[in-house]
């Protein structure tokens, strides 16, 4: 299916690794121009080079996303380079383990800033161009504790905020014909997930315990499967879909675990 994404300029935060990188690769294969936004210059440039080596298009903007001014400057760079923005994928974030009992207010606020505030900042600054292009926003969300991850007060609050903003923006931007949706990730084997699994005494056993609870095929969702959903939501093929939280997780979140 041709998603009609050729030469569409789409910003992807945290696009150099993991899910974000998977999204950029799929978008590039669809003919879009993913703009990778991140703070690690080496990782960002390597990700762009990998796409270009496949004779596909990509670009970048460097930004520490916890700094609102750098978010604004990243958007300005994209507009200066391409003259338009057709889509925004808010993806960057990390489960930083800020809990209730063992956390504190300062770290909780840092977690919100690290995982939610830049979703607003990027959307706010990209909005004028998205209004011109009648573009789309996709927010990447996540389920939080359930597999023993625990201590996720900050991350859980941020993900709840992502879902709420998705619905709120979808309603606010109806007159602009800008669609806003979210893709919710449960279990996807990213570098961060690998790092977390290695904290257990028997990581392979823990991983097997988790995948056994994923109803469809008892396996992790791949980054490409998540990216395919994101690409569809960005495309005109989903032009009457907005305000939705799409779970790409093999039934993990909603199907009865008794099935497994």
Is the C-alpha dihedral spanning 199, 204, 205, 209 positive or negative? positive
Is residue 25 within 8 A of residue 255, CB to CB? The reply is no
Nearest-angstrom CA–CA distance, 8 and 18 = 22
Burial of 199 (0-12, 13-18, 19+ CB in 10 A): exposed
Domain ranges of the chain: 9-186+223-249, 190-220
Residue 145 has pLDDT above 70, yes or no: no
226-257 pLDDT, tens digit per residue, is 999 999 999 999 999 999 999 999 898 888 66
Q: Which of 85, 132, 86, 90 is nearest to 115 (CA)?
A: 90
7-22 pLDDT, tens digit per residue, is 999 999 999 999 999 9
Instruction: State residue 251 phi and psi, 5-degree precision.
Output: 80, 10
State pTM to two decimals: 0.92
Looking at residue 259, what is its pLDDT?
A: 61
Q: Which of 47, 46, 60 is nearest to 19 (CA)?
A: 47
Q: pLDDT class for 122, splitting at 50, 70, 90?
A: very high
Q: Is 189 noted as a catalytic residue in this protein?
A: no
Instruction: State residue 8 phi and psi, 5-degree precision.
Output: -75, 135
CATH code given to domain 9-186+223-249: 3.40.50.720
Q: pLDDT class for 147, splitting at 50, 70, 90?
A: very low
The residue written with tokens 């990213």 in the block is: 190
Q: Which residue has the higher pLDDT, 175 or 101?
A: 175
Nearest-angstrom CA–CA distance, 237 and 25 = 19
Provide the mean pLDDT of the chain: 92
CB atoms within 10 A of CB 140: 24
Which residues, including other chains, have CB under 8 Å from residue 44's CB and lie 6 or more apart? 15, 16, 36, 37, 38, 60, 62
Residue of 119, 155, 193, 247 with catalytic role: 155
3-state secondary structure of 189: coil
Residue 49 has pLDDT above 90, yes or no: yes
CB atoms within 10 A of CB 57: 18
Residue 64 has pLDDT above 50, yes or no: yes
Is the C-alpha dihedral spanning 256, 238, 47, 86 positive or negative? negative
Residue 260 has pLDDT above 60, yes or no: no
CB atoms within 10 A of CB 73: 15
Residue 150 has pLDDT above 60, yes or no: no
What length does the chain have? 260
């Amino acid at each position: 299916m041709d998603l009609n994404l050729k030469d569409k300029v789409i910003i992807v935060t945290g696009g150099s690794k993991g899910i974000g990188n998977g999204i950029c690769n799929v978008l590039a294969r669809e003919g879009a121009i993913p703009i990778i936004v991140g703070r690690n210059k080496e990782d960002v440039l390597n990700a762009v080079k990998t796409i270009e080596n496949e004779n596909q298009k990509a670009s970048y903007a460097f930004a520490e996303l916890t700094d609102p001014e750098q978010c604004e400057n990243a958007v300005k760079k994209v507009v200066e380079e391409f003259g338009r923005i057709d889509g925004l994928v808010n993806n960057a974030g990390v489960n930083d383990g800020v809990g209730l009992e063992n956390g504190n207010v300062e770290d909780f606020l840092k977690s919100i800033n690290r995982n939610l505030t830049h979703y607003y900042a990027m959307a706010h600054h990209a909005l004028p161009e998205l209004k011109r292009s009648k573009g789309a926003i996709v927010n990447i969300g996540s389920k939080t504790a359930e597999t023993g991850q625990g201590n996720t007060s900050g991350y859980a609050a941020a993900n709840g905020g992502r879902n709420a903003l998705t619905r709120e923006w979808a309603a606010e931007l109806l007159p602009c014909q800008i669609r806003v949706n979210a893709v919710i990730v449960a279990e996807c084997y990213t570098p961060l997930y690998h790092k977390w699994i290695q904290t257990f005494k028997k990581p392979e056993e823990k991983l097997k315990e988790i995948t056994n609870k994923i109803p469809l095929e008892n396996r992790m969702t791949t980054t490409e499967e998540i990216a395919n959903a994101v690409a569809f939501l960005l495309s005109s093929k989903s032009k009457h879909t907005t305000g939705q939280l799409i779970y790409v997780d093999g039934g993990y979140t909603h199907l009865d675990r008794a099935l497994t």
